[in-house]
């Protein structure tokens, strides 16, 4: 039995060991340094609230990152969807309609990222830069037109900010993502595109179709993430969503996701990474670390993960 856990096994599961080990280490270290506050009922509730949006977004982003792509328009998209969600809900009184509208918009963006980029022969990052600029401008424009720094929702959304609902959302999205990733061709093909897109095309697979599907699923999670964020704060403004694109990337890396995708991509990275990222932020503050030091420590952890997960002999980025 022990023979199974030899050096070879450890080497082949190094990424898993590091991501799971990192999470366990975070929990142990901060449980001690926070004097047990990490596990207080209140803290567990806020951890779930904080993890929820990251986990939902990361689970969708997994499909895009598996292809070796990234979508930097997420932050601006989340911001605009949150504002629209509030404005539509306030004017119609229907939270469902508000969600459906932002869902439709998110799917259109997924289509633009996945299909239009291929049609125009552009890397997806270019279309995501385009979307980021458009959404960033729209977000600023809406707030300027409203002449407000922040707009609040007038519809009762207390049900959606309930911790139980948020846990349920994480579980439901995780089940769907795991199913799509492990039990449909979507997971294998996105990983294959990440490993070698041309080889995937030569094997007769329509990469465009799967790219669109991957981005579409990401779009669904972006809409859901924006909705959950709105439910949590009950307000949105010019800076809503800011930083999520980078946060998702960091969370996925902490979860052991190779930045350039490929066959080593794992769906568990999204959940492990989200929890690690949130516990790291929360734990540092509970431990009384100065806010400036929090940034430095996060940067050290980030660079350490990059160095450790790097498997290119001559490269910098992990793959």
Enumerate binding residues for other proteins (CB under 8 A). Answer: 29, 33-34, 37, 40, 42-43, 46, 49-50, 53, 140, 143-144, 146-150, 152, 229, 232-240, 242, 281-282, 284-293, 296-297, 300-301, 303-304, 307-308, 310, 313
- For the bound state, the minimum distance from the C-beta of residue 286 to other proteins, rounded and expressed in Å, comes to 5
Measured from the CB atom, the residue of 74 and 213 that comes closer to other proteins is: 74
Q: Which residue do the tokens 């306030």 mark? A: 90
With respect to other proteins, which residue has the nearer C-beta, 123 or 315?
A: 315
Does an H or E element contain 38, and which? none
Closer residue to other proteins, CB minimum distance, 42 or 202 = 42
Pick from 108, 99, 100, 109: nearest CA to 73: 109
Instruction: Please answer whether residues 226 and 234 qualify as being in contact, where contact means their C-beta atoms are separated by less than 8 angstroms.
Output: no
Q: Which is nearer to other proteins, 18 or 193 (CB)?
A: 18
For residue 6, give the DSSP letter. Answer: S
Q: 3-state SS string over 271-308?
A: HHHHHHHHHHHHHHHHCCCCHHHHHHHHHHHHHHHHHH
Closest distance of CB 92 from other proteins, Å: 20
**Cα separation of 92 and 96, whole Å?**
10
Distance of closest approach, residue 159 Cβ to other proteins, in angstroms: 14
Instruction: In angstroms, give the least distance from the CB of 173 to other proteins.
Output: 19
For other proteins, give the closer residue by CB, 24 or 144.
Answer: 144
Closest CA to 258 of 11, 16, 8, 24: 16
Token reading at 253: 């890396």
Between 43 and 196, name the residue whose CB sits nearer to other proteins.
43
User: Could you tell me the smallest distance in angstroms from the CB atom of residue 250 to other proteins?
Assistant: 15
HSE, side-chain direction, 13 A CA sphere, residue 230: 33
- Find the radius of gyration of the CA atoms of the chain: 20
CB of 100 to other proteins, least distance (A): 23
């Amino acid at each position: 039995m022990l023979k199974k856990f030899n050096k070879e096994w450890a080497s082949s599961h190094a990424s898993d060991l590091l991501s799971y080990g990192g999470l366990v280490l975070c929990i142990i270290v901060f449980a001690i340094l926070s004097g047990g506050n990490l596990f207080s009922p209140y803290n567990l509730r806020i951890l779930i609230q904080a993890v929820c949006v990251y986990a939902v977004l990361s689970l969708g982003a997994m499909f895009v990152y598996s292809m070796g792509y990234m979508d930097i328009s997420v932050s601006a998209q989340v911001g605009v969807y949150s504002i629209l969600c509030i404005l539509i809900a306030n004017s119609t009184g229907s939270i469902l309609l508000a969600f459906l509208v932002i869902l439709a918009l998110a799917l259109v963006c997924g289509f633009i990222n996945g299909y239009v980029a291929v049609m125009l022969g552009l890397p997806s990052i270019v279309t995501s830069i385009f979307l980021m600029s458009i959404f960033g401008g729209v977000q600023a424009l809406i707030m300027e037109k409203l002449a407000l720094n922040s707009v609040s929702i007038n519809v009762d959304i207390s049900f959606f900010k309930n911790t139980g609902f948020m846990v349920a959302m994480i579980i439901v999205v995780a089940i769907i993502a795991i199913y799509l990733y492990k039990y449909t061709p979507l997971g294998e093909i996105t990983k294959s595109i990440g490993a070698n897109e041309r080889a995937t095309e030569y094997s007769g697979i329509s990469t465009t179709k799967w790219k669109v599907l991957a981005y579409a699923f990401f779009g669904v999670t972006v809409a859901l993430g924006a909705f959950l964020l709105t439910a949590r704060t009950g307000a949105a403004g010019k800076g809503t969503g800011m930083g999520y694109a980078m946060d998702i990337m960091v969370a996925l890396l902490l979860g052991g996701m190779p930045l350039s995708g490929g066959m080593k991509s794992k769906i568990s990275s999204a959940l492990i990474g989200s929890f690690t990222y949130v516990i790291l932020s929360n734990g540092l503050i509970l431990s009384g670390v100065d806010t400036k030091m929090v940034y430095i420590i996060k940067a050290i952890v980030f660079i350490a993960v990059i160095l450790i997960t790097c498997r290119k002999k001559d490269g910098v980025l992990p793959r």
